[in-house]
Structure 1
Amino acid sequence: MDRVLAWSLLIALAGGLVRGTTGFGAAMVMTPALTLLMDARTAVPVTLLLETFAAAPMLPAAWRESRARVIAPISIAAVLAVPAGGLLLAMASPLTLRRIIAATVVLFSLALLSGRRYKGAPRLGTSIGLGALSGTMLGATSIGAPPVILYLLSGPDPASVTRANLTLYVVVISAAGLAMLGVGGLLTAATVRQAALLAVPFAIGILLGSRLFARFSDQRFRQLTMLLMFAVALGVLLSS
């Protein structure tokens, strides 16, 4: 087996494991690692395709449990901001993008590990601002959820509602990102084939992660996930 393919399959498995365990984080694990094996202009759409694939089956339940008043303004602002990130993706050099992606993951992993949360009351202006930041990040790096994760985790909603809100948000912004990449010519048949190849280990990872999540505490696995994200991103950053 080709070495690049073998590593890509392992990265997809790890991303799926994280996704199944925590409900988020696959892009934070996969994108920085995949940029060591392929151009960021390939890694970003591949990751977005896999994230959409993972979240789609959860949509019916997420739709029932989500709070539209919370997630709608964030999602709308993010969708409108995605093209700005896409412009950065198209114009920046692969090395610069790799560093941006890795640095983004390092910073947000540290924030999550430290237990930092947004402390203010949910406000429309804050939601719109965070959505715009998230959409720009997603268009450029495929990693758009961290600001919204930090924001929603600070709210009063139960974990099931927060997870549902995040699931809907990931689907919306991933679809917007894929549409933007398609218009920009970055979503090619080769990219779709690459994502399809990685979908199998990714799905296996999600299944394993879901089973592990049922056996261990949520807090413990979130800590381990953040440590994994931090280690991967720091390694990519140092190698750049």
Structure 2
Amino acid sequence: MPDLLTQALALPGLPWVILAAFVAGIVRGFSGFGTALVYLPVAAQFMPPVWAILSVAAMDILGPLPNIPNAIKVGHKRDLMRLFAGVIVALPVGLWVLTSVDPDVFRYAVSILAIGMLGILGLGMRYRGQITPPMVYGIGGAGGFLGGAAGLPGPPVIVFYMASPHGPSVIRANTMVFLFGYDLLLIAVLAVTSRLEPLPFVIGLVLTLPALLGNIVGGAIFNPDRERTYRAVAYVIIAMSALSGLPFWSEGGHP
């Protein structure tokens, strides 16, 4: 373990990764989403795709904990169970895709998905019809696939909740619990398939403190009456992170 910790602390670009973890925690704390959207475009500049996804999952196990108990109380439990069922089916397929692509493809995918997500949210695009239980299973499956392939399980679920009748507090709570549960499932699937590498997991644990501090700050400043302001700030931060992660900024692509 000391050897792994030494290697984790020697990661090139670690100060930037720590800053990304802290800012991602703040965004997650006040909006209920955004950890991967902020963190992954930065982390993917300094580590392989599977490492980046595993590190954010390890970081997210403890980072959001201060806000999870209350989120479980506030959230809509039936929706969550259906979403998780979809994740369990589709996550292994997404991970298979991830291991088959070039790191630069991964970086483009993460940044483009993050920017596309912002476009959907900013334009107010949403599904106007009735949301049925089978649709919720499918949305969970889409989240599981994107989570495995690009480390971004949130976009399908966030867009789904834009069309839901739930209020801001329930939406924030369900999104937060869903992403936390996804992290647990991701680690479980990687362990079962013998792809749970120790070094990126330790890197994620190192990032737990800045992520935890960020979550505490974000949770403390959350106020449902100022939801639009918080989301606008989150969108700007996500956009900056997504643009910074595009491979053409670095000569030769992936460092």
Q: TM-score w.r.t. structure 2 length?
A: 0.86
Instruction: Choose 207-216 or 131-140, whichever is displaced more.
Output: 207-216
Q: For residue 96 of structure 2, what is the aligned residue in structure 1?
A: 87
The Cα of 1:214 is off from its aligned counterpart by 4.4
- The answer to whether the 8 Å contact 1:86/1:180 transfers is no
Identify the match of residue 29 of structure 1 among 32, 38, 56: 38
CA distance in 2, matches of 1:90, 1:229: 25
Give the corresponding residue for 2:212.
203
Alignment of 1:41-190 (within 5 A): 41-190=50-199
Task: Determine if contact 2:63/2:209 at 8 Å carries over to the other structure.
Answer: no
For residues 32-75 of structure 1, give each alpha carbon's deviation from its aligned partner in whole angstroms, at most 9, with x where no partner exists: 11101111111111111222323344343233222233222222
Partner of 2:195, secondary structure, is coil
| Higher percent of residues as helix | 1
Tell whether the 8 Å contact from 2:110 to 2:150 is kept in structure 1 after alignment: yes
1:233 aligned residue? 242
Q: In 1, distance between residues paired with 2:229 and 2:175?
A: 20
Contact conserved, 1:42 with 1:186, CA < 8 A, in 2?
Answer: no
Q: Deviations over 1:84-109 (max 9, x none)?
A: 11101212111111111111111111
Pair 216,194 (structure 1): closer, same or farther in 2 beyond 3 Å: farther
Task: Give me the identity figure in percent.
Answer: 25
1:215 to 1:157, Cα distance in 2 relative to 1, 3 A: closer
Is the deviation greater in 226-235 or in 139-148?
226-235
1:17 CA drift (Å)? 1.5
Q: Does the 8 Å CA contact 2:51/2:200 hold for their aligned counterparts? A: yes
Q: What RMSD, in angstroms, separates the aligned Cα atoms of the two structures?
A: 2.1
Q: Which amino acid in 2 is paired with 1:68?
A: K
Amino acid of the structure 1 residue aligned with 2:47: M
Whole-Å separation in 1 of the counterparts to 2:224 and 2:117: 26
Deviations 1:177-234 (A, max 9, x none): 1112223343222122211211111112222223333498221110121122122212
1:217 to 212, 223, 226: 226
Aligned residue for 2:47, secondary structure, equals coil
Distance 1:64 1:114 in 2: 31
**TM-score scaled by structure 1?**
0.91
| CA distance in 2: counterparts of 1:16 and 1:166, whole angstroms | 14
Q: Which runs of 5+ in 1 are unaligned?
A: none
Given residue 41 of structure 2, which amino acid in structure 1 is its aligned partner? P
